[in-house]
Structure 1
Amino acid sequence: MTFKAILRKDVIYKNNTSPLCIQFLHDGRKKTIGLGISVACAYWNAEAQKVTDDCPDRDNIQFQITAKIKEYSKKIQRLEALDIPVNFETLFDAKPARSVRITIEDGFKTEIERLESLGKINSATKHKYALQVLDGYKPTTMALEAIDLDYLKGLELYLRQRGNKDNSIATRFAIFKAIYNKAVKEGKVMVKQNPFTLFQVGSLWAKTRKRAIDKDDIQRLIDLEIADGHTTEYRRLAKDLFLFSYFTAGMNFGDIARLRYKDIVKGRVNYSRHKTQKLLSFQLVPMALQILEKYGAAGHGEDYIFPILNRHEHTTPQQIFNRLHKVLRKVNRELKVLGEMIGLEMPLTTYVARHTYATVLKRSGVSVALISESLGHSDLSTTQIYLDSFENSQIDAAMAHLL
């Protein structure tokens, strides 16, 4: 884009003066901005873009011209520094000029600090990894304002070339979208069109494979005898944690690990989900009580029930996160072996217990709303992800009623 000071000689006022303007040229387009000043044609030097030395009130007029040229020069420099395309829309739209400069890195680091302050180390770690991935695509020092549809399309291509699968890509985009939308909501990014609205992040999610097992599989796991061996301790713990999750409304691994003796009152569990802080309460079924009795004989009050965390050793959110990550990896490794032992074709993980709980209730006719409440979800759409699709036999039965 180029611009210069001009005198509109085609416009002559009654006092025989013409308006001074700044004329901009970009991609064959022309735009003229008036300065609110007029002089006689004889007092204008078009080549030098200045008023002549003998122009009345010369110093004041020339100061206003120079000041306006400097103002637009700074605007263009600012847009270039933010990696925002310089055009008529970005230069003359008042919103970008008022917005606070915020880079991709700034947006992520602010959210990472917030998550870490809340002790949500797992979420903070996911954001750190997403930021690292984005920086591998293009420098994250570029402005959030510079993100457009072409950037997002290029990012998807980059991730696929790295070998990322659909849901992995969708996760990165979902995190990025949340960061972007938060900046927009806080007035740190001003855009006419949200690029994430055009890109449709939701279309990236691929239908996941079946994650729920049957009640018969649960019974086979209950009946499974674990022989003595070098992996016996973790294998038995893995079995107990899986079944405890299934019999406690799909309580996830992190919440089970954080469960304390004080959370059990008269055979009832009262706890707050670490992920959402939602309070949940339910009566323990006999099988869950039997599992607790195996671990609950020696502790009291603030002590953790299961031998995963130690309140004297794991005192910071980071220490707790590291310990949970280490134990979960071992537990899932043993669950995979247990799944093979009971004849499962799909890998058994702690997550399968949560999905199985939801799916078994659905097949039993329990409403999705009630299942959602028991899982501690904030909306029904999240619960739908957990629920298994109808089996072919159910579809076949439904098709019989078509005629």
Structure 2
Amino acid sequence: MLDRQKMNAKHECPVVLKLVQGRRRCFIPLALKVKWEDWNFKKSLLKEKRGTLEEKIEQQKGNLYLESEVLKIKKILLDFTMMEEDYTLEEVVKSYQYPTSTGGYVYDYMRNIVDSLEKLGKNGNSNVYRGTMGVLQNFHPEQDLTFEGINYSFIKNFEIYLQRKGCKVNTISLYLRTLRSVYNRAIRDGIVAEEYYPFKKITIRKEKTMKRAIYKEEIAAIRDLNISSCRMGLARDIFLFSFYMRGMSFKDIAFLSVSSIVGERLYYSRQKTAQKLNIKITDKAWEIIRKYNDLSDRTSYIFPLIQYPGKNEYHQYKNAYREVNRRLKLIGTMLHFHFPLTTYVARHSWASIAKRSGIPISVISEGLGHDSERTTQIYLDSFENNVLDAANEIITDF
């Protein structure tokens, strides 16, 4: 739009980008001044009018400039949206005024992605990109790797390198999908032309993972196991609390504060998706909560997983996650389970037991806090072989 308040003696007004978020607004000045009578207020562009060839060229150049600046803002908004994070006007303006520049070098570009994700608190995603970059640098140590240099042969050789290193199919899939994501972002950012896109003929394989769900009887065995160690007891209680609270994820449990408890319900936002959930606290879950917290300090975390609030909490959470899972695997060994027991088993088990109990997938999906039933289907056991065998006996018994 035109900033009429700054009109000069020639009736020229500075052109500004107007950004509005809720009731807040801000203006970004552009490097262009336009006469009031030359402005098309419907199109927010210079008027297309007759004149000399030079005047027409200047008008077209002005409109191309304006459209390109609007596209920059739209691209910034799209990036924030893809990161599934709330953002402020100030952050949009800062991203517009101080764009990152990588010169088309892959590792510089990936470092920028990692930095951006960390600033947004997306530590899990940033670790995936950092890990992929580390493996890629081991394969191709030269720092001047460009996106044009990543072609079909490069990717296939990278895949062979990962196979020789002993990486499993799904690990290779993760690295390749992350690299593909980086390339797609670089195309959107104008770092590399779409014609160089190397993944058109690349098939990224993915293995179906072993289901990680157990039965009620095994949950009961975990609950009833005689444990003398406090730390082993904490691991067991976190597992059970997750199961009692609709398969709540470990990360959500770690960051639960006493203030999340309102009456008989627990209100929280999922750390992964920011989706807001509230769950009725079951009697068994109350027992576990009161075992670790007297609820007198509303600002404290419910469980002693993050020992030093405000000090590198993400790393504390990751350390606690590793420790709890290490002890759960020991518990699984004590109970002679034939699979590694982890906190994820509690979440999968809640979903699978719900499915066996005849609860609709739509209800299970909402209970887990999933955005779609397709995501939920990944968690659910395919009906186990013994169920299918029993069904086959009934069908074929005539």
TM-score (structure 1 length as normaliser):
0.69
Following the alignment from structure 1 to structure 2, what is the Cα–Cα distance between the partners of residues 358 and 109?
Answer: 37
Match of 2:134 among 123, 132, 135: 132
2:306 touches 2:320 (CA, 8 Å); kept in 1?
no
CA deviations 1:21-47 (Å, max 9, x no partner) are: xxxxxxxxxxxxxxxxxxxxxxxxxxx
2:328 touches 2:341 (CA, 8 Å); kept in 1?
yes
Q: CA RMSD in A?
A: 2.1
1:250 touches 1:357 (CA, 8 Å); kept in 2?
yes
Give the equivalent residue in structure 2 for 1:180: 183
Following the alignment from structure 2 to structure 1, what is the Cα–Cα distance between the partners of residues 108 and 367?
Answer: 37
1:260 touches 1:305 (CA, 8 Å); kept in 2?
yes
Indicate the SS of the match to 1:153.
helix
After the TM superposition, which residues 3-402 of structure 1 pair with which residues of structure 2 at under 5 Å, given as runs? 101-138=103-140, 139=142, 141-192=144-195, 194-201=197-204, 203=205, 205-226=206-227, 228=228, 232-310=229-307, 313-316=308-311, 319-399=312-392, 400-401=394-395
1:262 touches 1:301 (CA, 8 Å); kept in 2?
yes
Following the alignment from structure 2 to structure 1, what is the Cα–Cα distance between the partners of residues 381 and 343?
Answer: 16
Indicate the SS of the match to 2:126.
helix
Q: Runs ≥4 in structure 1, deviation > 4 angstroms?
A: none
Indicate the SS of the match to 2:278.
strand
Change (3 A) 1:378 1:187: farther
The answer to which of 375-384 and 337-346 deviates more is: 375-384
Following the alignment from structure 2 to structure 1, what is the Cα–Cα distance between the partners of residues 114 and 306?
Answer: 24
Following the alignment from structure 2 to structure 1, what is the Cα–Cα distance between the partners of residues 290 and 309?
Answer: 24
CA deviations 1:280-303 (Å, max 9, x no partner) are: 112122211111121221542111
What is the CA distance between 1:101 and its match in structure 2? 4.2
Following the alignment from structure 1 to structure 2, what is the Cα–Cα distance between the partners of residues 378 and 194?
Answer: 30
Report the count of equivalent residues: 295
Following the alignment from structure 1 to structure 2, what is the Cα–Cα distance between the partners of residues 290 and 381?
Answer: 34
Indicate the SS of the match to 2:201.
helix
Q: Structure 2 unaligned runs (5+)?
A: 1-100
Indicate the SS of the match to 1:163.
coil
The answer to which of 276-285 and 292-301 deviates more is: 292-301
What letter is aligned with 1:315? G
Change (3 A) 1:390 1:194: farther
What letter is aligned with 1:401? I
1:149 touches 1:195 (CA, 8 Å); kept in 2?
yes
1:261 touches 1:305 (CA, 8 Å); kept in 2?
yes
Change (3 A) 1:382 1:326: same
Sequence identity percentage: 37
Following the alignment from structure 1 to structure 2, what is the Cα–Cα distance between the partners of residues 193 and 105?
Answer: 18
Change (3 A) 1:247 1:164: same
CA deviations 1:102-132 (Å, max 9, x no partner) are: 2221331121111111222232222211101
Following the alignment from structure 1 to structure 2, what is the Cα–Cα distance between the partners of residues 367 and 190?
Answer: 46
1:267 touches 1:289 (CA, 8 Å); kept in 2?
no
Indicate the SS of the match to 1:276.
coil
Q: Structure 1 unaligned runs (5+)?
A: 1-98
What is the CA distance between 1:372 and its match in structure 2? 2.3
Indicate the SS of the match to 1:144.
coil
TM-score (structure 2 length as normaliser):
0.69
CA deviations 1:145-190 (Å, max 9, x no partner) are: 3322222111110101111111111111122122112222333322
Change (3 A) 1:292 1:153: same
Indicate the SS of the match to 1:366.
coil
Give the equivalent residue in structure 2 for 1:59: none
The answer to which of 373-382 and 277-286 deviates more is: 373-382
What letter is aligned with 1:109? R
Change (3 A) 1:315 1:208: same
What letter is aligned with 1:350? T
What is the CA distance between 1:394 and its match in structure 2? 2.3
CA deviations 1:220-266 (Å, max 9, x no partner) are: 1112221x3xxx11101001000001111211111111000010111
